[in-house]
Amino acid sequence: MLTPPRNAPWLFGFLGFPIGFSYGVQTILMPYLLRKAGVPVDRIAGAVAVSCIPYIWYFLWSPLADSGLPRRAWVLISVTGAGLTASAAVLNLNASLTTLTALLFLMSAFAGLLSSANGPLLAAVPETQRGKVAGHYNMGTWGAGAIGGGATIWLADNASLPTLAIAIAAVMIAPGLVALCIQEPTPVRHAYVSQVRAIFKSPRTWLRLLFFLSPVGSAAVGTLISGLGPDYQASSTEVLWVSGMAGGMLNATGSFLGGIVANRMNRMAAYSLTGMVAAAAAAYLALAPATPFTYAAGYAVYAIAAGFGWAVYTSLVLDVVGDKQQPTAAPWAILNAAGNIPIAYMTWLDGVGYKHWGVRGLMGVDAAANLSAALMLLIVAALAIRRQSPAA
């Protein structure tokens, strides 16, 4: 059993930080820099969508974390690889978009490996510590993604690209050193294939996959919002706060609310409501005057819906995984990877909407996809609830 330092569950927040920070660089900083460099939004959306592919498939190389090396070693390897490739992406901003996309792709692959290494460490924490550790881990992940992304936008406007690249590498690698403070049992090899087979034998898994693979909860506008400031006449400072600092706090608020609601109503129905709120926010961003106020107010609601969706999504994953002790993070990795598929295809689809109809088209496509999927899932949830026995 893993024994963390006394009264230090916050250490695990540092393990989640590089994952969120790399995602912030990918979906907040890079769209902002590329838009300033004159790259069309539809091409930015395509590059981001392709570079997010490893988040979908990282369970394929997650067995590396159980190959014999200490997980702490894989944490250090992962954060170093992610930091160096992120730094190289910034330095190659003026190179071809293909090269830049490839570097971001590699950064995502290392972030996925980091998540795989973190999973067994989190699972090995004593039962009495899991709540606190899980809370700090998610705070590190999502806080780093939004707030860290906003901070890098500020640095990009006030420093040279080499300075920005060095800062990103340092901030991404340094938190991984905390892994050296965590004790862990000797790694052993696990029957990965048998775990994968077991999870897909459950009917509950297939039902939940309908929800995980839908546009609901994808929060795709959040991957492009930092590049849409000019369309709403928003200044760099406004973009910094909306897509970074304030957006991160609103994500956290939404997650808090989602956790409460997930314990008080059917979770599938709650997840459907996420799509309705996101659709309303995107519709407002599409139909209201293209002003800085619309940009801030519309995305504020969208950010709360995103955080709400993440919390309910996690509860749905736990419905599938259950409370059994898992020797590896295979089930968790697979289901979390599945949840990244909608982020990729909705980011691409929103970009198509922008290409044909501008920012109103982007927001309109996102609103239509979320609303139609939410209504469909609400029907599925109602049928599933109806089929449950009174005892269940």
> What are the sequence ranges of the domains in the chain?
1-189, 201-392
Alpha-carbon gap, residue 271 to 368, rounded angstroms: 17
Alpha-carbon gap, residue 171 to 265, rounded angstroms: 39
**What per-residue confidence (pLDDT) applies to 1?**
45
Alpha-carbon gap, residue 316 to 206, rounded angstroms: 12
Of the candidates 63, 36, 50, which has an alpha carbon nearest to the alpha carbon of residue 103?
50
Collapsing DSSP to helix, strand or coil, 324 comes out as coil
The dihedral through the CA atoms of 236, 37, 365, 209 has a sign that is negative
Q: Phi first, then psi: what are they for 324, rounded to 5°?
A: -80, 145
**What per-residue confidence (pLDDT) applies to 203?**
82
Helix axes 292-321, 267-287, angle to 10 degrees: 160
Of the candidates 277, 259, 253, 298, which has an alpha carbon nearest to the alpha carbon of residue 373?
277
Q: How far is CA 359 from CA 198, 206, 265, 289, in A?
A: 44, 35, 35, 11
Alpha-carbon gap, residue 101 to 267, rounded angstroms: 36
**What per-residue confidence (pLDDT) applies to 392?**
43
The mean pLDDT value of the chain amounts to 84
Compute the 3-state secondary structure of the chain and give helix, strand, coil in percent, each to the nearest 5.
80, 0, 20
Say if 1-189 and 201-392 have the same CATH topology. Answer: yes
Q: What is the domain class of 201-392 according to CATH?
A: mainly alpha
Alpha-carbon gap, residue 101 to 107, rounded angstroms: 10
In this structure, what token pair is assigned to residue 228?
A: 């849409």
Q: Which amino acid is at 303?
A: A
Alpha-carbon gap, residue 142 to 222, rounded angstroms: 12
**What per-residue confidence (pLDDT) applies to 4?**
46
Alpha-carbon gap, residue 342 to 340, rounded angstroms: 6
**What per-residue confidence (pLDDT) applies to 345?**
92
**What per-residue confidence (pLDDT) applies to 283?**
97
Q: What is the domain class of 1-189 according to CATH?
A: mainly alpha
Alpha-carbon gap, residue 167 to 5, rounded angstroms: 28
The answer for residues whose C-beta is within 8 angstroms of residue 237's C-beta and 6 or more apart is none
**What per-residue confidence (pLDDT) applies to 130?**
55
Q: Are 369 and 349 contacting, i.e. CB atoms less than 8 angstroms apart?
A: yes
Could you give the residue ranges of the DSSP H alpha helices within 288-340? 292-321, 330-339
Alpha-carbon gap, residue 276 to 56, rounded angstroms: 25
Of the candidates 205, 218, 206, which has an alpha carbon nearest to the alpha carbon of residue 318?
205
**pLDDT < 70 stretches in the chain:** 1-9, 123-136, 138, 146-147, 185-191, 318, 321-329, 389-392
pTM, two decimal places: 0.73
**What per-residue confidence (pLDDT) applies to 179?**
87
